[in-house]
């Protein structure tokens, strides 16, 4: 069985006749995406980095020791921000660069779909995805999930365009290479439906070596690091599973729903659902996806079924580990799935609106629903971004307080929140247990007399035994107490 994707070609314009200028809808969406970030996100996060961000950024920041890089992480984001950190330590500069890059990437990856879906549908898909508060917050953050989403959109688009365009296979391989660098496990879940589709559809079989080759080249660094730091691929995968709480079948859908409007990390996920009226779109997504697939199956003359079925399949594959293999959640985890689902949903909306008189009664409700969705996301964004800035500012306040106590570079900080605080203080960080355990207790104590040292202990917890004679220093506004050895 063969399936051919028809790439839209515009008819030639007669000589002497001016073609009307097309409205650059997709470019306007990308510009609006950048403007929203600059107006509502960056002002709250312009001077501080979040916990995970400090891990990625510190790897190639020449001014601070690199934080412990745990086994589940991949280094693509660190590579992305390394050129900025080589030039400046300004968080504001990093935020602005990431805003520009994320907006340009939004335009570039959805533009891949323009020959498949048309200008308006492609722009609407970008708007639906870029309008999510989690996507707007992620645009200026040094985090992997948004870039996996971009890679997924581009990879599926180039896969569908490959039979009729000679260079599409190479673009597909390049996108999968970059996505694998950013987050190898997600790239694997993305590639799985692509490989199944390539095997099942004769016209797509030439894509198999490009899919496998792109992933293989992208995984070279991860594999080399697995042997250099973790004892091999199997051991790294085992440690990754342990860090994630044990990768096994868990129905995690309720946790994903509860964390939809925050917190940024729900682990353990015991928080109540906030603003349930603003989560209806999430519950409607499966229904909209099913309607889009049914409409595409019914109307194959207008557009091949694969244009709808493949992004849906890849979205389900990318969402599966976060909905059924872990026991915690974060809003950013499902960004790749949302990005792919936006394409068939946008096609469903534009078809309904342009169906003529038969769909006239539906046009107004559909436009109202889309507008309400964008408005509710915009209403959530300022509060969420302010909350992220507040938490990150607490790390910075603790770092400044420790510097004033004499804990200055070269120095070492340990404790449950050591990684982000140490980065802001210019210190190395170490933990002896937990997901970020990087040093034994003996090795840690060997450094006590050789450099400034502090232990951070949250309110309500006991200090470690080795610090029972150290001087406590409550850090104002942070909910932590620092224990510093007497000199």
What pLDDT score does 102 carry? 98
- Higher-confidence residue of 149 and 369: namely 149
Domains contained in the chain, number: 2
What pLDDT score does 441 carry? 84
Q: Bridge-partner residues for 482, per DSSP?
A: 456, 473
From CA 399, how far away is CA 55, in angstroms rounded? Answer: 16
pTM above 0.85, yes or no: yes
Q: What percent of the chain has pLDDT over 90?
A: 71
**Same domain as 445, residue 353:** no
Supply angle C-alpha 204, 210, 213, rounded to 5: 145
Of 388, 418, 450, the last residue of a domain is 388
Q: H or E element: which one contains 475?
A: strand 471-475
From CA 441, how far away is CA 431, in angstroms rounded? Answer: 9
Tell me, yes or no, whether 152 lies in a domain.
yes
- Higher-confidence residue of 115 and 365: namely 115
Tell me, yes or no, whether 293 lies in a domain.
yes
Asked if 216 contacts 184 with a C-beta cutoff of 8 angstroms, the reply is no
What pLDDT score does 7 carry? 53
Bond preceding residue 227 cis, omega within 30 of 0: no
Average pLDDT rounded to a whole number, residues 144-150 = 98
Mean predicted lDDT score pLDDT of the chain: 91
Question: Is residue 116's pLDDT more than 80?
Answer: yes
Tell me, yes or no, whether 18 lies in a domain.
no
Tell me, yes or no, whether 14 lies in a domain.
no
Average pLDDT rounded to a whole number, residues 23-33 = 96
Tell me, yes or no, whether 207 lies in a domain.
yes
Question: Is residue 174's pLDDT more than 50?
Answer: yes
What pLDDT score does 71 carry? 94
* Cα dihedral across residues 164, 166, 168, 173: positive or negative: positive
Average pLDDT rounded to a whole number, residues 45-65 = 94
What pLDDT score does 394 carry? 92
**Same domain as 453, residue 363:** no
- φ, ψ for residue 70 (rounded to 5)? -75, 165
**Same domain as 475, residue 331:** no
Is residue 278 helix, strand or coil? helix
Average pLDDT rounded to a whole number, residues 17-38 = 88
Of 364, 388, 412, the last residue of a domain is 388
**Same domain as 372, residue 358:** yes
Residue in 227, 151, 183, 235 with CA at minimum distance from that of residue 78: 183
**Same domain as 415, residue 286:** no
Average pLDDT rounded to a whole number, residues 346-368 = 77
**Distances from the Cα of 107 to the Cα of 44, 148, 186, 219, 269, angstroms:** 25, 15, 22, 26, 34
Q: Which of 104-118, 360-374, 409-423 has the lowest mean pLDDT?
A: 360-374
Average pLDDT rounded to a whole number, residues 156-165 = 92
Tell me, yes or no, whether 10 lies in a domain.
no
**Same domain as 450, residue 352:** no
**Same domain as 399, residue 254:** no
Tell me, yes or no, whether 264 lies in a domain.
yes
What pLDDT score does 1 carry? 44
Of 358, 388, 418, the last residue of a domain is 388
Tell me, yes or no, whether 34 lies in a domain.
yes
Average pLDDT rounded to a whole number, residues 408-421 = 92
From CA 72, how far away is CA 76, in angstroms rounded? Answer: 13
Q: What is the pLDDT of residues 300-336, one digit of tens each?
A: 766 788 999 999 999 999 999 999 999 999 999 999 9
- Max mean pLDDT among 152-166, 267-281, 294-308 falls in 152-166
**Distances from the Cα of 454 to the Cα of 58, 254, 423, angstroms:** 20, 39, 14
- Higher-confidence residue of 130 and 297: namely 130
**Same domain as 236, residue 104:** yes
**Same domain as 63, residue 102:** yes
- Higher-confidence residue of 47 and 136: namely 136
Question: Is residue 81's pLDDT more than 60?
Answer: yes
Is residue 472 helix, strand or coil? strand
440 burial (CB, 10 Å; 0-12 / 13-18 / 19+) is exposed
- Max mean pLDDT among 94-108, 242-256, 415-429, 456-470 falls in 94-108
**Same domain as 422, residue 379:** no
**Same domain as 406, residue 295:** no
**Same domain as 448, residue 406:** yes
Domain that holds residue 464: 392-484
């Amino acid at each position: 069985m063969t399936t051919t994707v028809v790439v839209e070609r515009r008819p030639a314009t007669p000589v002497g006749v001016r073609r009307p200028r097309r409205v650059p809808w997709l470019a306007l969406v990308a510009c609006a995406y950048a403007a929203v970030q600059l107006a509502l996100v960056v002002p709250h996060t312009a001077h501080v980095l979040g916990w995970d961000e400090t891990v990625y950024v510190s790897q190639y920041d020449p001014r601070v020791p690199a934080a412990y890089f745990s086994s589940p992480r991949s280094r693509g984001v660190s590579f992305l921000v390394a050129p900025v950190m080589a030039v400046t330590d300004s968080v504001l500069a990093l935020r602005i660069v990431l805003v520009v890059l994320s907006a340009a990437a939004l335009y570039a990856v959805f533009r891949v779909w323009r020959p498949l879906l048309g200008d308006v549908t492609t722009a609407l898909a970008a708007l639906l995805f870029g309008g999510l508060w989690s996507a707007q917050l992620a645009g200026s953050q040094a985090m992997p999930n948004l870039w996996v989403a971009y890679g997924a959109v581009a990879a599926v688009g180039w896969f569908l365009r490959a039979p009729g365009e000679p260079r599409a296979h190479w673009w597909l391989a390049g996108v999968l290479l970059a996505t694998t660098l950013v987050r190898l496990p997600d790239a694997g879940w993305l590639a799985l439906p692509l490989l199944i589709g390539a095997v099942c559809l004769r016209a797509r079989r030439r894509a198999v070596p490009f899919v496998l080759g792109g992933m293989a080249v992208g995984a070279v660094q991860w594999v080399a690091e697995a042997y250099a730091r973790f004892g091999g691929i199997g051991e790294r995968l085992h440690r990754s599973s342990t860090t994630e709480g044990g990768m096994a079948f868990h129905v995690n859908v309720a946790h994903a729903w509860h964390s939809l409007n925050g917190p940024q990390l729900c682990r353990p996920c015991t928080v109540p659902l906030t603003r349930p009226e603003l989560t209806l779109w999430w519950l409607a997504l499966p229904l909209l996806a099913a309607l889009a697939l049914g409409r595409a199956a019914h109307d194959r003359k207008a557009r091949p079924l694969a244009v709808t079925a493949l992004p849906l399949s890849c979205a389900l594959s990318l969402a599966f580990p976060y909905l059924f293999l872990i026991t915690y959640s974060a809003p950013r985890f499902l960004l790749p799935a949302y990005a792919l689902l936006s394409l068939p949903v946008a096609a469903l909306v534009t078809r309904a609106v342009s169906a003529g008189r038969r769909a006239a009664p539906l046009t107004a409700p559909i436009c109202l629903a889309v507008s309400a969705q964008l408005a509710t996301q915009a209403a959530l964004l300022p509060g969420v971004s302010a909350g992220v800035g507040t938490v990150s500012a607490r790390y910075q306040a603790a770092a400044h307080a420790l510097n004033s106590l004499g804990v200055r570079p070269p120095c070492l900080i340990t404790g449950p929140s050591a990684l982000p605080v140490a980065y802001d203080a210019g210190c190395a960080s170490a933990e002896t247990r937990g997901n970020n355990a990087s040093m034994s207790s003996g090795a840690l104590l060997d450094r006590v007399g050789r450099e400034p040292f502090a232990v951070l202990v949250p309110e309500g917890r006991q200090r470690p035994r080795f610090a029972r004679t150290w001087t406590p220093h409550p850090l104002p506004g942070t909910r932590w107490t620092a224990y510093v050895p007497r000199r």
